[in-house]
Chains A and B, each alone.
Chain A
Amino acid sequence: MLELRKDIFADERDDNLKEIGKGTQRQDMLGHVTGTSSYFNDHKLQGMLHLKVVRSSHAHARIRRIDTAEAERSAGVRRIIRGADVPVNLNTLLSLINFGKDDEPSLAVDKVRYKGEPIVAIVADSEREAFEAVAKVKVDYEPLPAVFDVEDALKPGAPVVNETYPKNTFTYHEAYDHQKLRFGDADAALATADHVLEQRYQMSPIEHAPTETNGAIAAPDTNGRYVVYTSTQALFFSVDTCAKILDVPSNTFHFIGGTVGGGFGGKVDTLTEPLAILGAMLTGRPVRYVFGREEEMQYGPPRGAERIYIKDGVMRDGRVVARKIRCYFDSGAYTRLSSYAAVKCAAHLPGPYTIPNVYGDVYCVFTNRTPATAMRGFGVTAMDFAIECQMDKLANLVNMDPMEFRILNAYRDGDMKAHRREAKNTALIECVQVAAEKAKWPLREEFKRASSRKDGGGSRAVIPPTPADSSRTRPTAPAQQRTSYDRLPPTVTREPPREPPPPAPPPPSPRPAAPSHGATRFSSVFGTRRR
């Protein structure tokens, strides 16, 4: 449980959280409705220059030659920035928490991996002059075969999208090409189930479409620092990302954000800040880099598309006895946050239901599409859509009311979840009951009486015998990749991943007995790490 030190933070929070059913004024609403909220782009600085990027016209191509001679002579051009000018021209966002390998350049050097990838940045006196110079840059491409389908990308001989991950899959714990969940024997249960239903679900990428497009203004400040007005929705994350890419301490920057003109996950990737600051460093002038609407829509990162296969076994009485899932996250050409999405997805299986046999394989796959990123519940929403479609279809298959079918299969307090954690504070049954009541949807008496607090645990708390995957020997997981931002002492290794889990009671929670500030803490996503 979260402990708030009331002796220190007496005024920090009112614990009387009775808010439901009352109107509450949003703290930023007055500014928004009166047009007085200030956004990053409301700053017009003296001598401000404008940055625009040359983007790849190919989804996958080797760059033979970049000719900027004519662009350099173009009117108003102050500086042309190429990959070689970026101090650390390879990064991955989650390297800040030691997750994943650096795989994405700020400006492409040898190869472009998606249509619209930035290659050259031009800083000019006006946007118009920057655009004119962009049109004069000549890039000589050698087109390469591209792959746009997640399953095609996994086939032998598929084009290698990103050389950092030659198998076109993100590498977990430096050993695994996917996230795996095994609980009980799904295949055996499917073989004896009364009905088996297998379905395929294909999602599309979704653009966040913020009213304010991504952008930043960076300006030289005193003492060698830079002030940065930004649209970022993850300000401290962006500060550290810029510090890494530009190879300076993070206290070089004074980031000013606060008002985000629509984020929803589309403004965590820190796409504009590093180049805007670099432009300011190289010219000594304020530099503004803002996406146009088309850039935002076409090359701004979307929610990734998932392909999901679900195979369920259900008995005539309505009990779901097995759920087998294969899921492919389309990360696009670079990792950004999709590696994390796949982890979240695996952590969500098999949905809020107690199913005794669960089998899940979740892949984060690289293709030559626009890199995907965070968006509202990413990793979970698509899987939930698929699971709930599946639940409706299963209910229909066994001739049950879909609401009652969910109550029957819902997890209850004390049940064992597929991740070998006990279910606590479950409330799906109550949610379904309230939804049915509000919708005047008739439920039979026994389902009206059902409760998350009753009839859970017992045999439902048992971890079933789980066969090991025979085909695979467990590789020894080496230590996580280290970066300059890794504060772990080199001797500390991560707890090796348990795989496949033994048919035994769950190990005690690896959480340290007495957490102290700055000590190691356990994260279910990334494993043990030190803060």
Chain B
Amino acid sequence: MAVTVKTFTSASEAAGALSSDRSARYFGGGTLIMRALNEGDVAISTVVRAQDQALTRIEASGPRVTLGAGVTFARVLAERDLGFLHAPARSIGGPAVRNMGTVGGNLFAPNPYGDFTVALLALDATVTVAGGFGARDIPIEEFLQARERQTGTLVLSVSCTRPASTEAFRYRKIARIKPKGGSVITLAAHVPISGGRIAGARIALGSMAPTQIRARAAERALEGRSLDTASIAAAASAATEGTSPADNALGSAWYRREIVGVYLRRLLSGQE
């Protein structure tokens, strides 16, 4: 059976086509789906596309930032108002991949990819998906936990609150090939400080579990305390709690557990 490509002008029509066909996959930038097709993934029989302008919209002027699911990393990098997302966008692939790869597609990228999603998870983003009766908002963590069941879901946009200061949001991807290798581990931390104390710490990790996850024990170690050597050390030593990394060609599970605390300490203490 040949692969069918279905192109729609509206996102809602595309969402309908996607949810009614188990072998259908949505084509964002093609960096995942075309690779799968080229490598002979016979589970995909239908490719769904949408040429809806809404999917490529960026709203970045206010405190709440919204990125259409079809926004590419190259466009994120071209947007001055999205400076806090430039580090994660730049850490993905080479220029060709960043020109095609999309924010929405990254939510589905399996390990060792999906770095942008790590940043979004630390920013407590909201994922807006097309539902039967219009759009529906899902907290990103909930979305990721059910990711395997989401292949029939069309993501419309992702939104998050801009970090209060540049200092409050930090991101680091550990790769063997710089700048565009797959992730050994990826870390993002949002540590807003109010009155000298951390309020609402968020630490997200990539390649430390089947999907991107939050390091809740490390967050607890920081919450309500000042960002100092002691709290950073406590967070670093709690970094592996709740993680379940796997072995792959880039690193072993053991290695990932060994380094995650080290890099979290460096990230939080502002070391290069």
Residues of A within 8 A of B (CB): 52, 75, 126-128, 131-132, 134-135, 292-294
Contact = CB atoms under 8 A, between A and B. Distances in A.
Given A75-B1, A128-B3, A293-B35, 18 more contacts: A52-B40, A126-B2, A127-B40, A128-B1, A128-B2, A128-B40, A128-B42, A131-B40, A131-B42, A132-B42, A134-B40, A135-B42, A292-B38, A292-B39, A292-B40, A293-B38, A293-B39, A294-B39
Contacts of B3: 128
Contacts of B42: 128, 131-132, 135
Contacts of B38: 292-293
A416 to B, nearest CB: 45
A293 B38 CA distance: 9
A127 B38 CA distance: 9
A135 B2 CA distance: 15
13 contacts: A52-B40, A75-B1, A126-B2, A128-B1, A128-B3, A128-B40, A128-B42, A131-B42, A132-B1, A132-B42, A135-B42, A292-B39, A292-B40
Contacts of B35: 293
A243 to B, nearest CB: 30
A294 B39 CA distance: 7
Interface residues of B, number: 8
Interface string B33-45: 0010011101000
Interface in B135-171: none
Q: Which of A52, A75, A128, A293 has the most B CB atoms < 10 Å from its CB?
A: A128
Interface in B1-46: 1-3, 35, 38-40, 42
A132 B35 CA distance: 16
Interface in B36-89: 38-40, 42
A401 B42 CA distance: 61
A135 B35 CA distance: 18
Interface of B: 1-3, 35, 38-40, 42
A170 B173 CA distance: 45
Contacts of B2: 126, 128
Nearest to B38: A292
A310 to B, nearest CB: 28
Nearest to A134: B40
B220 to A, nearest CB: 40
Contacts of B40: 52, 127-128, 131, 134, 292
A299 to B, nearest CB: 13
Nearest to A133: B42
Nearest to B2: A128
A321 B185 CA distance: 48
Contacts of A131: 40, 42
A135 B42 CA distance: 8
Contacts of B39: 292-294
A81 to B, nearest CB: 18
Nearest to A295: B39
A369 to B, nearest CB: 15
A128 B3 CA distance: 8
Contacts of A135: 42
A128 to B, nearest CB: 6
Contacts of A134: 40
B2 to A, nearest CB: 6
B91 to A, nearest CB: 21
Nearest to A130: B40
A121 B19 CA distance: 36
Contacts of A52: 40
Contacts of A293: 35, 38-39
Contacts of A292: 38-40
Contacts of A128: 1-3, 40, 42
9 closest A-B pairs by beta carbon, nearest first, are: A131-B40, A292-B39, A132-B42, A135-B42, A131-B42, A294-B39, A128-B2, A128-B3, A292-B38
Contacts of A126: 2
A524 B42 CA distance: 51
Contacts of A132: 1, 42
Nearest to A126: B2
A13 B46 CA distance: 58
A52 B41 CA distance: 13
Contacts of B1: 75, 128, 132
A315 to B, nearest CB: 41
A127 B40 CA distance: 8
B110 to A, nearest CB: 14
Nearest to B249: A297
A232 to B, nearest CB: 22
A292 B39 CA distance: 6
Nearest to A125: B2
A77 to B, nearest CB: 13
A75 B3 CA distance: 13
A293 B35 CA distance: 9
A135 B3 CA distance: 16
A131 B172 CA distance: 39
A358 B39 CA distance: 50
Nearest to B3: A128
